[in-house]
């Protein structure tokens, strides 16, 4: 029986409709992503902005139509960093339940990390100690373990592409000293863990793979040298030029520099040479529960 999973994130609102096959693997039937920037201003105001909530409501209205058209009865909705950190998050959840019949559960950073690891590592024939890096708009999760096992370490940090754009990158294009402060903060935040392999999930990683020319984003390997080159290229461009970079969705242009720096410095600090990009993440982990 199909299940629909909605992820209300800080930068995107996403939908996955999927079912499990005879082997228990998650099979995608429909997948959509809308950049809604729910976390706009949350770091400074502590509240969800009215226009941001309107964008999320519009996206969920479209997803509700898809869910109803496909006859899906089970809907799982999760909300992450922006909803966790905002004073009016509970009232917005009530609004979504009353308007769309969707009960969004605000999950902890620990739950977010666990579900992401489950989704990213499911079905892998690989016993290496792996760190899954999930760069969101308002938080970044690091989860360490071996595929098919429970994670041995996980942490959710207050570091994200939206949050760190607002905190550090005030010029267009960013000034070198702003980029340096951002990189220093990332290096100080990355946990002191050991891993043999890195899997990067979510929109920053998939966007960087597309910018690097990946024909197939899922499974693409981004070397540290490629990450450094792409981050420097993006940081040198003003916002309007960044919107036209091949492989980058224009709506991601305002926050992609911070996201690229977070991933680059994470891989460097962890002592790794590359990151494997995965399109399987929290959505798949939640669909498998």
Q: Is 138 within a domain? A: yes
Which of 44, 74, 107 is the endpoint of a domain? 107
Residues 159 and 261 both lie in one domain:
yes
Q: How many domains does the chain fold into?
A: 2
Residues 157 and 223 both lie in one domain:
yes
DSSP string covering 97-147:
HHHHS--EEEPPHHHHHHHHHHHHHTT----S-EEEEEE-SS-EEEEEE-T
CB 234 within 8 A of CB 260: yes
CB 131 within 8 A of CB 120: no
Residues 88 and 176 both lie in one domain:
no
Residues 130 and 217 both lie in one domain:
yes
Residues 279 and 172 both lie in one domain:
yes
Residues 239 and 266 both lie in one domain:
yes
CATH (domain of 243): 3.30.420.150
Rounded to an integer, what distance in angstroms lies between the CA atom of residue 218 and that of residue 123? 14
Q: Is 114 within a domain? A: no
Residues 223 and 95 both lie in one domain:
no
Q: Is 200 within a domain? A: yes
Q: Is 112 within a domain? A: no
Q: What is the pLDDT of residue 267?
A: 98
Residues 217 and 258 both lie in one domain:
yes
Residues 177 and 249 both lie in one domain:
yes
Residues 230 and 102 both lie in one domain:
no
CB 107 within 8 A of CB 285: no
Which of 73, 107, 141 is the endpoint of a domain? 107
**Residues spanned by the domain of 230:** 125-283
Which of 47, 79, 107 is the endpoint of a domain? 107
**Over its length of 289 residues, how does the chain's per-residue pLDDT go in tens digits?**
889 999 999 889 999 999 877 766 788 899 999 999 999 999 889 999 999 999 999 999 999 999 999 999 899 999 988 898 899 999 999 999 999 999 999 998 888 888 999 999 988 888 899 999 999 998 999 999 998 788 999 998 999 999 999 999 999 999 999 999 999 999 999 999 999 999 999 999 999 999 999 999 999 999 999 999 999 999 999 999 999 999 999 999 999 999 999 999 999 999 999 999 999 999 998 888 7
Q: Is 119 within a domain? A: no
Tokens in use for 272? 């790794």
Predicted model pTM: 0.89
* Helix, strand or coil, per DSSP, at residue 5: strand
How crowded is the C-beta side of 245, counted as CA atoms within 13 Å?
Answer: 30
């Amino acid at each position: 029986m199909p299940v629909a999973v909605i992820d209300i994130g800080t930068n995107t609102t996403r939908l996955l409709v999927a079912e499990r096959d005879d082997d228990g693997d998650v099979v995608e039937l429909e997948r959509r992503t809308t950049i809604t920037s729910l976390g706009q201003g949350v770091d400074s105001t502590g509240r969800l902005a009215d226009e941001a909530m309107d964008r999320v409501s519009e996206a969920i209205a479209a997803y509700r139509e898809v869910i109803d058209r496909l006859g899906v009865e089970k809907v799982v909705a999760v909300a992450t960093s922006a909803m966790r950190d905002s004073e009016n998050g509970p009232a917005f959840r009530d609004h979504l339940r009353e308007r769309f019949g969707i009960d969004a559960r605000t999950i902890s950073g620990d739950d977010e990390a666990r579900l992401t690891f489950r989704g990213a590592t499911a079905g892998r024939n690989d016993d290496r100690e792996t760190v899954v890096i999930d760069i969101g708009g308002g938080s970044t999760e690091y989860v360490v373990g071996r595929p098919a096992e429970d994670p041995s370490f996980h942490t959710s940090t207050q570091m994200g592409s939206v949050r760190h754009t607002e905190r550090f990158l005030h010029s267009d294009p960013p000034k070198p000293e702003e980029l340096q402060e951002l990189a220093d903060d990332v290096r100080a935040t990355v946990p002191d863990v050991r891993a043999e392999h890195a899997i990067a999930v979510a929109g920053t990683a998939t966007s960087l793979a597309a910018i690097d020319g990946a024909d197939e984003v899922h499974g693409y390997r981004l070397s540290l040298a490629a990450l450094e080159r792409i981050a420097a290229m993006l940081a040198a461009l003003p916002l309007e030029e960044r919107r036209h970079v091949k492989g980058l969705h224009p709506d991601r242009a305002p926050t992609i520099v911070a996201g690229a720096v977070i991933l680059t410095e994470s891989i460097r600090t962890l002592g790794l040479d590359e990151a494997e990009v995965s399109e399987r993440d929290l959505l798949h982990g939640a669909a498998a529960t």
